[in-house]
Amino acid sequence: MWSQTQITLQPRPRGVHLVTGEVLDALDQLEIFSVGLCQLFIRHTSASLTLGENASPDVRDDTRSWLDAAVPESFPWTHTLEGDDDMPAHIKSMITGPSLLLPIANGSLALGTWQGIYLCEHRDHGGPRSLIATLSGESTSGA
């Protein structure tokens, strides 16, 4: 069985944001899968997805600080037409990646106790972000 959903995440400022709840709220069909996979893909080149610790906001702050230090805006970038934060955002999204592949078990994402889905917003004003969620597996009815 297959299901695909487009998810629009609310606009957020630059940073690393826990979006597990927002993603789960949009996955109406998740509960019918007994076993399977959920692939999340972000349709942008200046934002990314990753899995991280879901309890302490310090982890998200430290992740953003590290990414900002590793990929500085002050570097002599050639691609600057869309602002000083654009090319560093592209590099950061290449480092962290555009997609996640997550297991489904008994109608839920089978995440670890301390795992959450992060939206890494690499632009100062990125706007709403679009995800494609593709679910595949066996339904509870055996289809």
Dihedrals φ, ψ of 119, to 5°? Answer: -95, 120
88 found inside a domain: yes
Could you read off the pLDDT of 5-47 as tens digits, one per residue? Answer: 999 999 999 999 999 999 999 999 999 999 999 999 999 999 9
Structural domain containing residue 88: 2-130
Query: What CATH number is associated with residue 106?
Result: 2.60.120.460
21 found inside a domain: yes
54 found inside a domain: yes
Q: How many domains does the chain have?
A: 1
137 found inside a domain: no
Dihedrals φ, ψ of 33, to 5°? Answer: -95, 125
Could you read off the pLDDT of 73-84 as tens digits, one per residue? Answer: 999 999 999 999
pTM listed for this prediction: 0.94
31 found inside a domain: yes
Nearest to 89 by CA among 67, 118, 74: 67
What does the alpha-carbon distance between residue 18 and residue 140 come to, in Å, rounded to a whole number?
A: 29
118 found inside a domain: yes
Could you give the residue ranges of the DSSP H alpha helices within the chain? 20-26, 57-70, 86-96
